[in-house]
Structure 1
């Protein structure tokens, strides 16, 4: 399920169009105005109650998942900072640029998720792994 309100609104918009409904018709089904449907489809005014009403009217189910945030140990943080610095040096980037690049192309996610295996490698190998993951995800640093 989408986790941002504008994405949720877009999902409702797509479903409404699949069913061939106008905003006015959908509004009548759920008891709101056309302008309220427009706001919802643009990610504004969305509440759990609204999600439930629209889901029922559009014949879809919605669920909310609450899960605890993953905590990252100080060992992992230290390892990532070291890897990030080496990555930045290798590719002649600032640390901020390297961090943005690795975040965008999932290199940091990979290193954090695979810390148990990656930290047993050299930092050079970790940097190579992060670069490979980023390239697979559309990154083009060289």
Structure 2
């Protein structure tokens, strides 16, 4: 039995040759893509940039106290209870309409208030930023 084959297009190597890409260039491109996909070698690529000096800077990292995290979680839960919505939906709503940012920024004052007052403040902040939960 003789198998019949059809020509369905150029092979991968033939296609690259037709595009004018040499094997070395293909391997270089493949290696570069692999590095960027995995993130490895990113620091090695910085000094190779033509005409640019290599410099490393550390961005300011914001440290958040465990008390702020605990307070934020409790505030989200109370917000969800007061407005009768699921916690995940409350979290997404507060992120979208800047309620979480408000809690982080004004933690010093808000944690001294009752949770009912904090939830009312969150509701008003979200309304001011386009939210529709009253």
Q: Is TM > 0.5 for Structure 1 vs Structure 2?
A: yes
Map of 2:111 onto structure 1: 119
Bigger Cα Rg: 2
Q: Any stretches of 5+ residues in structure 1 without a counterpart?
A: 1-47, 53-64
Q: Does 1:132 align with 2:124?
A: yes
Aligned to 1:83: 75
For residues 112 and 73 of structure 1, what CA distance do their matches in structure 2 show? 10
2:99 aligns with one of 92, 107, 114: 107
Match of 1:3 in 2: none
Q: Does 1:141 align with 2:106?
A: no
4+ residue runs over 6 A deviation:
none
Superposed displacement of residue 109, structure 1: 0.4
Gaps of 5+ in 2: 1-45
Pick the structure with more helix per residue. Answer: 1
Aligned length: 83
Q: Return the TM-score normalized by structure 1.
A: 0.53
Query: Where do residues 1-16 of structure 1 align in structure 2 (5 Å cutoff)?
Result: none
Pairwise CA RMSD:
2.2
Q: Distance in 2 between matches of 1:132 and 1:66?
A: 37
Q: How far is the alpha carbon of 1:106 from its aligned partner?
A: 0.2
For residues 112 and 86 of structure 2, the distance between their equivalents in structure 1, rounded to whole angstroms, comes to: 26
TM-score using structure 2 length: 0.56
